[in-house]
C-alpha cells in the first residue's frame, strides 16, 4: 500500500470516529489551513535555504551547514507525534532511509515539539534519522511555514482532547505546515501540504535525489 493510500485509509477512519460537531469543526479547520497555507508564501525551488542549528532528540545541536557538506539534505517539517498522518509519513521515511543514504543524502525531520517529547517519539517509533526540535517555530518561520491557530481551530483541538502545550511547551498557539524540501546548491525540490492529510512519498524523494548531478 502506498503512503497516499495509507493516508486516505487513516483519514476515512478518523472522520468516521468523529461526532457531527467535530466533523464540522474539522471541515472548517481544513478549509482555513488550505487558505492560510496558500497565503503564507513558503520558500520554493531556486531560493536559498536559511541555515539552521537545532537540538536533536538527545539535546545535541545539529547544523544544516555541517549536513550539507556531506551531500544533499532532505528537510521534512511535520506537526508533531500527536498527528497520526505525520506518524505514517515518518514511518515511511524510516522504511526508505537506507536508500536515501545510499544516494549520498542526509535527512532530518523538524517539529515544534520539545526535545523530551521528540526523544520519546524517536524511541517509540525506532527512528534512526535526526528528529530536531524547533520550539517556538523559529526555523519554520524562516521557511514561511507557520500559521496561527484561529479560535475555532483551537476549539477543534480541544474537542478531540489535544493540548498542544503538552507537546510544544507553553503558549503553543501556532502550527507548522507540513512540508518536504530537498536542498543541494539551494532548494531543488519543495512540496508544501496545507492539507495535512497528504504528504510527499519517500519514493518521490528518492526519485528526485536520483536526478541530482545528472
Q: Is 86 a catalytic residue?
A: yes
At residue 24, the 3 state secondary structure works out as helix
Active-site residue, from 73, 76, 83, 86: 86
Backbone phi, then psi, for 189, in 5-degree steps?
-135, 140
Half-sphere exposure of 42 (CA within 13 A, CB side): 25
Residue with cell 497516499: 4
**Following DSSP, what letter does each residue of 198-210 receive, concatenated?**
----HHHHHHHHH
Secondary structure element (H or E) that encloses residue 119, with its range: helix 115-125
* Residues marked as catalytic: 86
Amino acid at each position: 500500500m502506498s503512503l497516499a493510500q495509507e493516508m486516505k485509509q487513516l483519514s476515512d477512519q478518523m472522520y468516521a470516529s468523529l461526532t457531527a460537531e467535530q466533523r464540522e469543526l474539522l471541515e472548517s479547520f481544513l478549509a482555513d489551513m488550505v487558505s492560510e497555507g496558500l497565503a503564507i508564501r513558503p520558500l520554493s525551488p531556486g531560493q536559498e535555504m536559511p541555515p539552521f542549528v537545532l537540538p536533536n532528540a538527545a539535546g545535541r545541536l545539529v547544523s544544516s551547514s555541517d549536513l550539507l557538506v556531506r551531500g544533499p539534505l532532505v528537510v521534512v517539517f511535520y506537526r508533531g507525534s500527536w498527528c497520526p498522518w505525520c506518524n505514517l509519513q515518518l514511518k515511511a521515511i524510516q522504511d526508505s532511509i537506507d536508500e536515501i543514504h545510499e544516494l549520498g543524502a542526509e535527512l532530518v525531520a523538524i517539529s515544534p515539539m520539545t526535545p523530551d517529547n521528540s526523544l520519546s517519539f524517536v524511541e517509540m517509533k525506532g527512528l534512526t534519522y535526526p528528529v530536531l526540535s524547533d520550539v517556538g517555530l523559529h526555523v519554520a518561520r524562516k521557511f514561511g511555514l507557520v500559521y496561527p491557530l484561529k479560535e475555532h481551530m483551537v476549539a477543534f483541538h480541544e474537542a478531540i482532547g489535544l493540548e498542544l502545550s503538552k507537546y510544544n511547551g507553553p503558549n503553543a498557539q501556532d502550527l507548522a505546515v507540513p512540508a518536504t524540501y530537498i536542498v543541494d546548491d539551494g532548494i531543488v525540490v519543495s512540496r508544501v501540504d496545507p492539507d495535512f492529510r497528504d504528504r510527499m512519498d519517500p519514493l518521490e524523494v528518492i526519485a528526485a535525489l536520483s536526478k541530482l548531478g545528472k
